[in-house]
Structure 1
Amino acid sequence: MNRNIFKFLACSICVASAFLYWQDNHIVITEYKYENEKVPKNFEGFRIVQVSDLQNKKFYKNQSSLIKKVKKANPDIIVITGDIIDANRTNLENAFMFIDKAKSIAPIYYASGNHENHSDKYDEIIEGLSLRGVHILENKYEHIERNGEKIAILGLRDIRTSLDFQNALYDMVNENDDYLKILLSHRPELYYMYDDSGVDLSFTGHAHGGQIRLPFTDGLFAPNQGFLPKYTSGIRHFENSSMVISRGLGNSIFPFRIFNRPEITVTTLYSK
């Protein structure tokens, strides 16, 4: 092979490798504003940091770069919308390392994803999170109070049967009619169910930003949405509610991201 061609190919491989590494490991913070007249006065400016689809990924030693980004976002609460592990890589060290560092920043609220539920570690994960002080919202809700005013935060265990999932959602909504209702649920493709239920704001993940993001697309593929998916990122507004979709942090079957850097979202609440 001509030496110049070899040098060009070697250089191209190095550049491509560096680009893919940067795309996979340099986290971006995406900020959204959410306005609703139901936001209580004492929750004006309340900041919700969302972490989704970690998939057992390690962001440098002791999750240092991820923790640095979460701290920088200055959260009032941290919400995790599932898939802190990968069903094929179920070592819990990286996930719990993040929790151990993040719990000193702000209270953490968690709802599971498909990978926790498809692994044999579900019970161990829930126990480990509970021991670390995480608020487990698996078909459960809690109230967050500030100076006598409250909002409701609801969480769904990743879907097992659609009827169980839907019934759990509607039951929680009906019990919290007087409050702003924030939902943690892994799957954005069920937006129509959230919108119909009476939830005000949903946080979802699962789609990995469509994995490869090309111009004029929301990515090439997302689980349960197929090719050229519609709901992979951003904040979406529907007839009765809004939904934040995180592009997530890690990878699963497809080993890297292209034009789709790992993301944490920050949503700030405001009353209209």
Structure 2
Amino acid sequence: MLFAVGVFCLAAIAAFLLRSEYEKEQLSREDIVLKSEKIIKDHRILFLSDLHNHQFGTGNQRLLDAVDLINPDLILVGGDMLVSKGSADTSISLKLFKTLASRYPVIYGNGNHENRMSWNPEVYGNQYEEYKNSLKRLGVKVLEDKTELFAQDLAVTGIDLEYRFYKNFQREELTREQIEKKVGNADKDRFQILLCHSPLYFRGCRAWGADLTLSGHFHGGTIRLPVLGGVMTPQYQFFNPYCGGTFETDDRYMIVSRGLGTHSINIRFNNKPQLVVVDLKRKT
């Protein structure tokens, strides 16, 4: 009896791991339509986040093909496109953006893995500056507590969160005043988008004036369960409701991408890598 139970458990674990390996290579797409009186002309935005150096086919060709099929007016990047854990390989990300930036406008906000290179120069040397400057030479707009205007009606702001906002087992509060001190005032006339890597701070982001906050960081909760949602965040918070999806409060929105890759916990279950397509339309 015990032998049979053991065999069943091993088979279940093997099936789980095989399913996870399969899912990590399957790109999914989520389409979201948002309407606002601030929008003058319709825009299709593609939001990419948390690639963590993953490659969908040689040179990320399957990812590039999927982007071309979407044909966005603008690509927004939510950070963590690489992995920095004692060392950082920026080559995969730079190769991807060399192609993307030759085809589409790209605006890039940092995540904790990009910021870690600047937090720890004794480990990474000048890698962050080299990476940032390489992106800029490719035509990518890199936001470090800055705002970039797009078309006549969009303002895109990227905020660099400090290390304390990513600590495990705890949560800091990010207030409107703190955001204003870092990035200035929200644009009240344009549709204001805020790239804030962690979704824990939606309250502060919408109080600041973000019409749309775009976040990632939680990788969809690693394992997603029916009704309960994502199981665990990278900061070891369990069943956090902000692991992925679209949230709305007082006509202000946050979209949390489930991301494209993994790193330390290299598992995805019921949680395929995600391309987020946001169609912004004028409210009539």
Shorter-chain TM-score: which interval? 0.7 to 0.9
SS in 1 for 2:243: coil
Task: Note the residue ranges of structure 1 that are not aligned, 5 or more in a row.
Answer: 1-6
* Deviation for aligned residue 1:214: 1.1
Q: Matches of residues 55-74 of structure 1 in structure 2 within 5 Å?
A: 55-74=52-71
Residues 189 and 224, structure 1, Cα contact 8 Å, conserved in 2: no
TM-score, reference length from structure 1: 0.87
Match of residue 168 from structure 2: none
RMSD: 2.6
State the Cα deviation string for residues 208-233 of structure 1 (Å, max 9, x = none): 00011011122111134701111011
TM-score, reference length from structure 2: 0.84
Match of residue 31 from structure 1: 31
For the structure 1 residues 11 and 188, does the alpha-carbon distance in structure 2 shift closer, same or farther, using more than 3 Å as the test? closer
CA–CA distance in 2 between the matches of 1:199 and 1:225? 27
SS in 1 for 2:224: coil
* Deviation for aligned residue 1:150: 2.9
Residues 56 and 62, structure 2, Cα contact 8 Å, conserved in 1: yes
* Deviation for aligned residue 1:168: 4.2
Match of residue 242 from structure 1: 253
2:146 pairs with 129, 136, 140, which one?
140
SS in 2 for 1:181: strand
Q: Matches of residues 74-89 of structure 1 in structure 2 within 5 Å?
A: 74-88=71-85
Residues 39 and 180, structure 1, Cα contact 8 Å, conserved in 2: yes
Q: Matches of residues 67-216 of structure 1 in structure 2 within 5 Å?
A: 67-88=64-85, 90-119=88-117, 120=124, 121-145=127-151, 149-160=152-163, 166-168=179-181, 171-173=184-186, 176-216=187-227
* Deviation for aligned residue 1:172: 3.5
State the Cα deviation string for residues 104-141 of structure 1 (Å, max 9, x = none): 23110001001111132322221111111101111111
CA–CA distance in 1 between the matches of 2:249 and 2:20? 35
* Deviation for aligned residue 1:169: 5.5
- 1:193 partner amino acid: G
Identity %: 28
Greater mean deviation of Cα atoms: 113-122 or 210-219:
113-122
Task: Note the residue ranges of structure 2 that are not aligned, 5 or more in a row.
Answer: 1-6, 118-123, 165-173
Match of residue 167 from structure 2: none
Residues 154 and 172, structure 1, Cα contact 8 Å, conserved in 2: no
CA–CA distance in 2 between the matches of 1:224 and 1:117? 16
* Deviation for aligned residue 1:18: 4.0
SS in 1 for 2:148: strand
State the Cα deviation string for residues 14-53 of structure 1 (Å, max 9, x = none): 755542222111110110001111111xx22x10001100
Residues 159 and 165, structure 1, Cα contact 8 Å, conserved in 2: no
Match of residue 238 from structure 2: 227
Match of residue 47 from structure 1: 44
* Deviation for aligned residue 1:177: 2.2
SS in 2 for 1:202: strand
* Deviation for aligned residue 1:170: 6.0
